[in-house]
A and B are shown apart, each in its own frame.
Chain A
Amino acid sequence: MTASGTFGYGEEFGSLVNLHRLGAIIAKGISLLPRQGNPPPRIAETACGMLNAIGLENVGLERFFSEKLSFLRGIDTPLIVNILGDTIEDYQQLAKRLNDEEKVAAVEVNISCPNVKQGGVAFGTDPDMAHAVTKAVCQHFSRPVIVKLSPNVTDITLVARAVEEAGADGLSLINTVLGMAIDIESCRPKLANTFGGLSGPAIKPIALRMVWQVAGSVSIPIIGIGGITTPEDAIEFLLAGATAIQVGTANFINPQATEEIIQGIGTYLEKNGIASVEDLIGKARRV
């Protein structure tokens, strides 16, 4: 699958990728109303990674329906819509509207956003808030609800368990890791927003560790995300306990990365005489 915010609405990659071959397309996070995002610079490169502070710029729910959906309807690949909000009510309304649209196979709930009513603390950093958002979405969306966890917490298993208990059908992890970079010529932060989310190969060991931990504490399926660039990376996540994986930043470097990873996993299975990818899931955990 392609990770939210790194693959646009699919159309952007249409001339480079066979979209029909992907496991799923996860659309850029949408909110009820359009958001204009943060001032530039929004991006800075770091060693084997990048920082972004896009500020959740998106076209909003209505324009998603009117401008983006018709292209996605033309592709057999399942569409998962990533949603974000300022309040629990926002998430609820998004879930309700998307529930009516058959093409939306599942929603992925981005809980790394600040809860405006609770003084801006991110939903995903507090197990109770994460529970409340998940429950609200599950009540209004009848197909699978996937909750996307933030790594910027002390113990990710607490949030994971709270979300499972609230009724989530699956978890995806991780979102970006909070970081920053400073320009030593101007002596200013490189991002206008000062802080940004680190992604790419640099975060892979953190993501893998978190997938491992969460796989040991919940029983719903996990989608592994974080720095996956090659088939080998993807296989590590499966071995740690992920049932599926998402490719993010790697799409920027090689737009065909997701397709090549799918192919590479197949080659690995064949080479090692493994019948099904399911045999890999959590294999590294078994003693």
Chain B
Amino acid sequence: MQVYKELAEIIRREQVAEDIYRLTVKAPDIAAASKPGQFVMVRTGEGLDPLLRRPFSVHQVAEGGMVQILFKVIGKGTQALANMEVGRKLDVLGPIGRGFTIADDSQHFLVGGGIGIAPLFFLARRILKKSEAFSIRVLLGARTKDEIAALADDFKGMGLVVDTITEDGSLGKQGLVTDLMADLQQEKPVMIYGCGPYPMLRAVAKTCRENSWGCQVSLETMMACGLAACLGCAVLRADMKGYVHACKDGPVFDADDVAWL
């Protein structure tokens, strides 16, 4: 697999919501090679602390060799990235891993929650690029409105049908994203593409299995290298007899291939 290392100039930094940022960097090789669901490993500074690169899904690629990442500030690495000035160069490795496989069906269902939905934008664009006749429905869940409102608007801006649900009822219905999935019964989905926190993905995978719907999920693990060398990114296989590795066999997995603990 061809992985590129680029010193990518930061072209734009946007604050999307309270703790959520979008960085646009110029990385032509990575932009050209990326597929939805793949990710990049980013150095968040030049020093030795934090030491390791941080993984981020490719959020979107754009004209002129641009790559975007969308991230939430949760610790020192993401904080450093949020503070990066336009014009600085970011050390980025990518594209890494196995992304989503777009199903041969006219209807596509993107299901996600929280910041995990970052790669779904890229996926949506590639689905539409494959055929303009394809339709996409986006189901988004979150704890509360602030986590998701701006991103839901971005999807709407792409002309997609978006249903939202929040645990506190502050946006859309009150409940979990799997409650929204109950409405999909009549549509008989061929493929659900899921991104988000692990407990949500487990529930999504279960709903899909019960209904015999196809399901691909993007999983997050701790990662040191992203190059299939450290073997740190282990994910238990469905047969519980060994591990697959998120940076090589994933991060997108068929939900039936992994164990749900």
Contact = CB atoms under 8 A, between A and B. Distances in A.
Nearest to A34: B242
B232 to A, nearest CB: 4
A48 B48 CA distance: 5
A8 B221 contact: no
A16 B231 contact: no
Contacts of A47: 49
Nearest to A40: B234
Interface string A38-50: 1111111101111
Interface residues of A, number: 36
B223 interface: yes
A201 B53 CA distance: 15
B232 A54 contact: yes
A213 interface: no
A66 B12 CA distance: 48
A28 B223 CA distance: 17
Interface in B91-142: 91, 93
B190 interface: no
Given A39-B234, A54-B230, A252 B53 contact: yes
A28 B225 CA distance: 14
B51 interface: yes
Given A57-B243, A253-B43, A40 B221 contact: yes
A251 interface: yes
Contacts of A256: 5
Contacts of B1: 15
A44 B222 contact: yes
Given A48-B49, A48-B51, A43 B222 contact: yes
A77 interface: no
B227 A8 contact: yes
A7 interface: yes
Interface in B43-85: 43, 48-53
Nearest to A201: B48
B228 interface: yes
A196 to B, nearest CB: 10
B221 A252 contact: no
A70 interface: no
Contact of A42 (B5, B51, B232, B242): B232
Contacts of B229: 5-8, 12-13, 28, 251-252
Given A13-B227, A39-B234, A256-B5, 16 more contacts: A5-B229, A8-B228, A12-B228, A13-B229, A16-B3, A36-B242, A40-B235, A41-B222, A43-B230, A45-B50, A48-B48, A57-B243, A229-B48, A249-B224, A253-B53, A255-B5
28 contacts: A7-B229, A12-B227, A12-B228, A16-B5, A37-B231, A39-B236, A40-B236, A40-B243, A41-B221, A42-B231, A42-B232, A43-B230, A43-B232, A45-B50, A45-B52, A48-B51, A49-B51, A50-B51, A50-B52, A50-B224, A54-B231, A200-B48, A252-B227, A252-B230, A253-B43, A253-B51, A253-B52, A255-B227
